[in-house]
């Protein structure tokens, strides 16, 4: 009786959603399998919410995993496999978007924000320094107003010292 | 009846919120104390009525009142009591009700503990808080009413998504919302300061504990969510760069930046304008997160367009509050007076560096999350931005930031000495080198990144200890004197060191899990044994079991190492009767900070079953580190200086001003 229940439950579960990579999908060649795993981590399961086909238990993800392994076993390089999938499903399948005009903003953004922020900071610090400089900095930077310049020149002329 | 009481209480809360939005501000304008004083009691009353409303919905869930649509769609009478209660916020309407409950609670807390705030500031803060509350009450009542009835009550409910029937649902969303919504206080303070046109170090002193508390909750909420995903989803992943996760990470990054810039503002009266902006941005990102998760815009731009009522409503709230606050900022911020000057190499400079990197990291996550949406709506071109992109951009930013962490606390205010600090960090450099070399020696030709990352983690950890050693002058004065100094150190100093130390812990965990993870995917028949990273895992057999609202197939594994039995594992595969869906319950064996992780796949016709086994070294440090980080926050929060509502210390005698 107990055994029967076990079998029945097992049968009921047969059609339940599977876990991600299944034992029967795994390639015999470990090097090839490792490449397949690395590739499938970068490919999107297109019917899921932001899951890679490596993580997903959807039937489509399984089909794609098998497909990737078939191509690899047939001797395709990683790029060839990716190109094949992009040709078939569009760039949507790539979790790591390709660099191009349509993604220029995306890829440049982090560096742009960082560099822009740093430049902004430097300018701000300079300007604030300029707004309230110390006396020594004023002298060093020679940031005198024209009136001050003129007065300095007059004083220097009167004292007969050589002009700076 | 109960549901109607809940509905009515929410309407009343909206009414009170509207009053609280107007009268206190009017009072401030007309200098009318009585009008300003309305804010406090109104905030309390609001919290009370929302609590009644929330309690009513909870009651409907507990007694399984399926005449309420929301209960019918998300509950089942056979569900254990705890999941009937947590199911209240396991759906859109209920989770929005939890959101406003927490918002109202925070408002009430300001009302209760804000008695030492200047009257005008308090009135403005509570009014601003109430604008947000009113908008969200309206949102719930108009588009997401959880109290709607069905004319003919069904006998049984549709049950909750099985993935959510877990203790994680009891912990994760409330903590996350406490964090999200807690930042509304910083936001309201910022808006109030802008309305006032006045801001000073005291403002930062009031804002910091609220920000810190919200940040602690958010940290804990994110960490718990991550652990939940780790054991529930069945493949041992703990962070997926999913838009929903990113939505919670963005306020965390901005909030962390805010914590640090508020320090500069409090101690040195500098970075005021920036701190106010960060306070606005942090809560704006929380709102954005709510919008992203609640509007359905993430699933697809199209699903958003087909049922736009909710999405458009939240979008309007978003535009109104973010736009309004930023406009107010643009108008009033120039009036705020700039504070103290500092050299680029200084404690302030280090904190600015921290802010630069945290905001850049935040912007990266922001753009990565929203870029596909923007591109698709502008050009109809569909692309995905997933984990590889974020690892590639976010990783280096954080690595540089972590490298700078030990320097910050050691630099002096105003003008620091970088070379001197580097010298004091020699022990940390040495420790990092030794650790990296040890990793290289131990793993041979393993992952290239691991030695660097481990070295970085050790550098951060020893750096935090060096900071404490420097402050107590350990090794430079006699031990007794150092102990006396250690006693005298403010708790905030310990908080800083502990929180910074925890960053190293988290990094160790991340490196262990990502670089040294071992995985086996096999089909097993009872009696078979698998070897996994030095462990032997034997599959003993399977038994069917009946749970309260599911059936399950439970397997038993025995884990041995060198023939010694270490423990048993019982992963299972559950089928939930009401929805016909199934989940895989993973089983975990903890050894130190590492775990053996087993989860079941599908049974095969020949009696074998698919099994995934993992050995995850140091993985627990990811969450232990996060908890330690929160403890660091708690230490800081318990500092007398920041304690909420602490009486002001007696005026120090002239000439005895303590040095910072």
pLDDT digits (tens, 9 = 90+) for B520-553: 888 899 999 999 989 999 999 999 988 888 888 8
Lowest mean pLDDT among A2-6, A73-77, B24-28, B294-298: A2-6
Q: Is B247 exposed, middle or buried (0-12, 13-18, 19+ CB in 10 A)?
A: buried
Nearest to B388 among A12, A19, A96 (CB): A96
- The band of B655, judged by pLDDT with boundaries at 50, 70 and 90, is very low
Is B600 within 8 Å of chain A by CB? yes
Residues B139-167, buried b or exposed e (16+ Cβ, 10 A)? bbeebbbbbeeeeeeeeebebbbbbbbbe
Nearest to A10 among B360, B553, B582 (CB): B553
- The band of B656, judged by pLDDT with boundaries at 50, 70 and 90, is very low
Q: Give B247-292 pLDDT, tens digit per residue.
A: 999 999 999 999 999 988 888 888 888 999 999 999 999 999 888 8
Cβ pair B481, B491 in contact under 8 A: no
Instruction: Give the model's pLDDT for residue B68.
Output: 92
- The band of B660, judged by pLDDT with boundaries at 50, 70 and 90, is very low
Cβ pair B339, B269 in contact under 8 A: yes
Nearest to A14 among B242, B375, B603 (CB): B603
Is B400 within 8 Å of chain A by CB? no
Is B354 within 8 Å of chain A by CB? no
A135 or B202, higher pLDDT: B202
Lowest mean pLDDT among B50-59, B149-158, B296-305, B372-381: B296-305
Is B398 within 8 Å of chain A by CB? no
Instruction: Give the model's pLDDT for residue B307.
Output: 63
DSSP H helical segments within B31-77, as ranges?
A: 33-36, 39-62, 69-74
Mean of pLDDT values over A23-31:
82
User: According to the per-residue pLDDT averaged within each range, which of A95-99, B307-311, B627-631 is highest?
Assistant: B627-631
Is A21 within 8 Å of chain B by CB? yes
Nearest to A50 among B240, B582, B612 (CB): B240
Instruction: Give the model's pLDDT for residue B557.
Output: 95
Q: Helix count (H) and strand count (E) of chain B? A: 23, 10
Question: Which pTM value belongs to this model?
Answer: 0.89
Q: Per-residue pLDDT for B362 more than 90?
A: yes
Mean of pLDDT values over B582-610:
89
Mean of per-residue pLDDT scores for chain B: 89
A8 or B611, higher pLDDT: B611
- Sheet with strand B587-591: strands edge to edge: B518-524, B609-616, B594-603, B587-591
DSSP, collapsed to helix, strand or coil, labels residue B620 as: helix
DSSP, collapsed to helix, strand or coil, labels residue B443 as: helix
Is A103 within 8 Å of chain B by CB? yes
- The CA distance from B531 to B603, in Å, is 21
Q: Give B457-488 pLDDT, tens digit per residue.
A: 999 999 999 999 999 888 888 888 889 888 88
Instruction: Give the model's pLDDT for residue B157.
Output: 86
CB contact under 8 A, A14 and B605: yes
Is A12 within 8 Å of chain B by CB? yes
Residues of A in contact with B600 (CB under 8 A): 19
- The band of A143, judged by pLDDT with boundaries at 50, 70 and 90, is low
- The band of B443, judged by pLDDT with boundaries at 50, 70 and 90, is confident
- The CA distance from B584 to B519, in Å, is 17
Instruction: Give the model's pLDDT for residue B299.
Output: 63
Mean of per-residue pLDDT scores for chain A: 77
Q: Of B559, B581, B577, B555, whose CA–CA distance to B568 is shortest?
A: B559
Q: Tell me chain B's radius of gyration from C-alpha atoms.
A: 27
- The CA distance from B185 to B178, in Å, is 11
Residues of B in contact with A128 (CB under 8 A): 338, 341
- The CA distance from B226 to B620, in Å, is 11
A122 or B46, higher pLDDT: B46
Q: Per-residue pLDDT for B41 more than 60?
A: yes
**Residues 604 through 633 of chain B touching chain A, CB cutoff 8 Å:** 605, 607, 609-610, 612
Q: Helix count (H) and strand count (E) of chain A? A: 7, 0
Q: Per-residue pLDDT for A79 more than 70?
A: yes
Q: How far is B523 from chain A (nearest CA, A)?
A: 6
First CA to last CA distance, chain B: 60
**Residues 513 through 572 of chain B touching chain A, CB cutoff 8 Å:** 521-523, 542-544, 551, 553
Instruction: Give the model's pLDDT for residue B659.
Output: 42
Is A56 within 8 Å of chain B by CB? no
Is B153 within 8 Å of chain A by CB? no
Nearest to B522 among A23, A49, A132 (CB): A23
Is A76 within 8 Å of chain B by CB? no
Instruction: Give the model's pLDDT for residue A164.
Output: 46
Structural domain boundaries of chain A?
Answer: 2-98, 102-159
Q: Per-residue pLDDT for A133 more than 90?
A: no
Lowest mean pLDDT among A104-118, A130-144, B243-257, B419-433: A130-144
- The band of A9, judged by pLDDT with boundaries at 50, 70 and 90, is very low
Domain A2-98 has CATH 1.10.8.640: yes
Written as six digits, the tokens of B483 are: 């102990």
Q: Of B23, B446, B506, B437, whose CA–CA distance to B238 is shortest?
A: B506
Q: Per-residue pLDDT for B648 more than 60?
A: no
Nearest to A106 among B234, B357, B368 (CB): B368
- The CA distance from B127 to B194, in Å, is 13
DSSP string for B100-130: HHHHHHHHHHHHHHGGGS-HHHHHHHHHHHH
Mean of pLDDT values over B391-403:
94
Lowest mean pLDDT among B103-117, B174-188, B636-650: B636-650
Determine what percent of chain A is predicted with pLDDT higher than 90: 25
Closest Cα in chain A to B393:
A110
- The CA distance from A162 to A146, in Å, is 19
Instruction: Give the model's pLDDT for residue B645.
Output: 45
Closest Cα in chain A to B353:
A118
- The CA distance from B635 to B649, in Å, is 19
Q: Is B216 exposed, middle or buried (0-12, 13-18, 19+ CB in 10 A)?
A: buried
* Mutation to test the A interface, candidates B338, B375, B389, B542, most A Cβ within 10 Å: B389
Is A90 within 8 Å of chain B by CB? yes
Mean of pLDDT values over B617-626:
95
Beta-carbon-side half-sphere exposure of residue B591 (alpha carbons within 13 Å): 17
Is B384 within 8 Å of chain A by CB? yes
Lowest mean pLDDT among A23-32, B8-17, B259-268: A23-32
Q: Of B182, B355, B361, B360, whose CA–CA distance to B273 is shortest?
A: B355
Is B395 within 8 Å of chain A by CB? no
Q: How far is A135 from chain B (nearest CA, A)?
A: 15
Written as six digits, the tokens of B156 are: 């049984």
- The CA distance from B482 to B484, in Å, is 5
B273 or B17, higher pLDDT: B17
Size of interface A-B (CB pairs under 8 A): 149
Q: Per-residue pLDDT for B646 more than 50?
A: no
């Amino acid at each position: 009786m107990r055994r029967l229940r076990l079998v029945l439950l097992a049968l009921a579960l047969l059609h339940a959603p599977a876990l991600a990579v299944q034992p029967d999908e795994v390639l015999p060649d470990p090097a090839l399998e490792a490449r397949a795993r690395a590739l499938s981590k970068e490919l999107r399961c297109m019917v899921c919410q932001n899951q890679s086909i490596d993580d997903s238990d959807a039937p489509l993800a399984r089909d794609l995993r098998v497909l990737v392994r078939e191509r690899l076993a047939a001797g395709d390089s990683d790029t060839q496999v990716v190109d094949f999938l992009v040709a078939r499903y569009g760039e949507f399948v790539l979790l790591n978007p390709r660099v191009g005009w349509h993604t220029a903003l995306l890829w440049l953004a982090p560096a742009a924000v960082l560099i822009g922020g740093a430049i902004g900071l430097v300018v701000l610090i300079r300007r604030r320094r300029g707004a309230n400089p110390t006396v020594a900095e004023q002298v060093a930077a020679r940031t005198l107003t024209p009136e001050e310049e003129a007065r300095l020149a007059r004083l220097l002329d009167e004292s007969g010292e050589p002009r700076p | 009846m109960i549901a109607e009481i809940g509905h009515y209480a929410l309407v009343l809360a909206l009414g009170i919120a509207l009053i609280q939005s107007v009268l206190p501000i009017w009072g401030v304008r007309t200098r009318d104390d009585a009008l300003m004083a309305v804010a406090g009691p109104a905030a309390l009353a609001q919290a009370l009525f929302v609590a009644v409303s929330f309690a009513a919905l909870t009651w409907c869930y507990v007694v399984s009142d399926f005449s309420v649509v929301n209960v019918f769609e998300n509950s089942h009478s056979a569900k254990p009591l705890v999941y009937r209660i947590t199911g209240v916020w396991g759906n859109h309407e209920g989770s929005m009700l939890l959101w406003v409950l927490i918002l109202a609670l925070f408002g009430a807390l300001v009302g209760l503990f804000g008695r030492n705030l200047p009257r005008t500031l308090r009135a403005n803060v509570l009014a601003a808080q109430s604008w947000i509350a009113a908008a969200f009450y309206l949102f719930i009542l108009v588009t997401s009413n959880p109290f709607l009835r069905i004319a003919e009550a069904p006998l049984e409910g549709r049950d909750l998504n099985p993935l959510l029937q877990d203790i994680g649902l009891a912990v994760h969303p409330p903590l996350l919302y406490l964090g999200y919504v807690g930042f509304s206080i910083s936001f309201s303070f910022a808006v109030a300061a802008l309305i006032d046109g006045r801001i000073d170090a005291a403002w930062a002193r009031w804002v910091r504990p609220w920000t810190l508390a919200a940040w602690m909750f958010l940290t804990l909420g994110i960490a718990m969510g991550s652990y939940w995903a780790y054991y529930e989803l069945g493949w041992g992943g703990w962070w997926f760069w999913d838009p929903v996760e990113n939505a919670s990470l963005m306020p965390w990054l901005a909030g962390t930046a805010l914590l640090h810039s508020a320090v500069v503002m409090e101690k040195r009266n500098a970075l005021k304008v920036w701190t106010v902006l960060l306070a606005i941005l942090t809560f704006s990102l929380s709102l954005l997160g709510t919008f992203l998760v609640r509007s359905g815009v993430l699933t697809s731009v199209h699903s958003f367009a087909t049922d736009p009522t909710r999405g458009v409503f939240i979008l309007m709230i978003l535009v109104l509050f973010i736009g309004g606050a930023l406009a107010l900022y643009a108008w009033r911020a120039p009036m705020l007076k700039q504070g103290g000057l500092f050299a680029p190499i200084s404690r302030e400079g280090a904190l600015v560096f921290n802010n630069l990197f945290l905001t850049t990291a935040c912007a990266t996550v922001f753009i990565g999350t929203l870029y596909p949406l923007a591109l698709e709506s502008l050009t109809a071109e569909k692309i995905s931005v997933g984990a590889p992109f974020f690892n590639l951009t976010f990783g280096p930013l954080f690595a540089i930031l972590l490298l700078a962490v030990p320097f910050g606390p050691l630099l002096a205010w105003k003008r620091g000495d970088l070379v001197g600090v580097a010298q004091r960090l020699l022990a940390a450099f040495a420790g990092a080198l030794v650790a990296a070399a040890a990793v290289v020696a131990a793993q041979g030709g393993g992952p290239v990144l691991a030695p660097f990352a481990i070295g970085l983690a050790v550098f951060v950890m020893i750096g935090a200890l060096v900071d404490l050693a420097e402050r107590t002058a350990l090794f430079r004065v006699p031990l007794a004197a150092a102990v006396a100094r250690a006693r005298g150190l403010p708790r905030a100093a310990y908080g800083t060191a502990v929180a910074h130390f925890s960053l190293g812990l988290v990094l160790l965990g991340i490196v262990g899990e990502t670089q040294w993870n071992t995985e086996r995917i096999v089909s097993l028949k009872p009696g078979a044994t698998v070897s996994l990273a030095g462990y032997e895992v034997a599959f003993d057999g399977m038994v069917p079991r009946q749970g309260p609202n599911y059936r399950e197939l439970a397997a038993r594994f025995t884990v041995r190492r060198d023939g010694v039995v270490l423990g048993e594992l019982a992963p299972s595969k559950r089928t939930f009767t009401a929805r016909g869906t199934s989940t895989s319950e993973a089983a975990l064996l903890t050894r130190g900070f590492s775990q053996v992780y087993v989860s079941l796949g599908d049974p095969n016709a020949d009696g074998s079953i698919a099994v995934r086994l993992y050995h995850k070294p140091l993985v627990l440090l990811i969450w232990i580190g996060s908890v330690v980080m929160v403890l660091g926050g708690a230490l800081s929060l318990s500092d007398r200086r920041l304690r909420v509502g602490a009486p002001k210390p007696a005026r120090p005698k002239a000439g005895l001003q303590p040095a910072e």
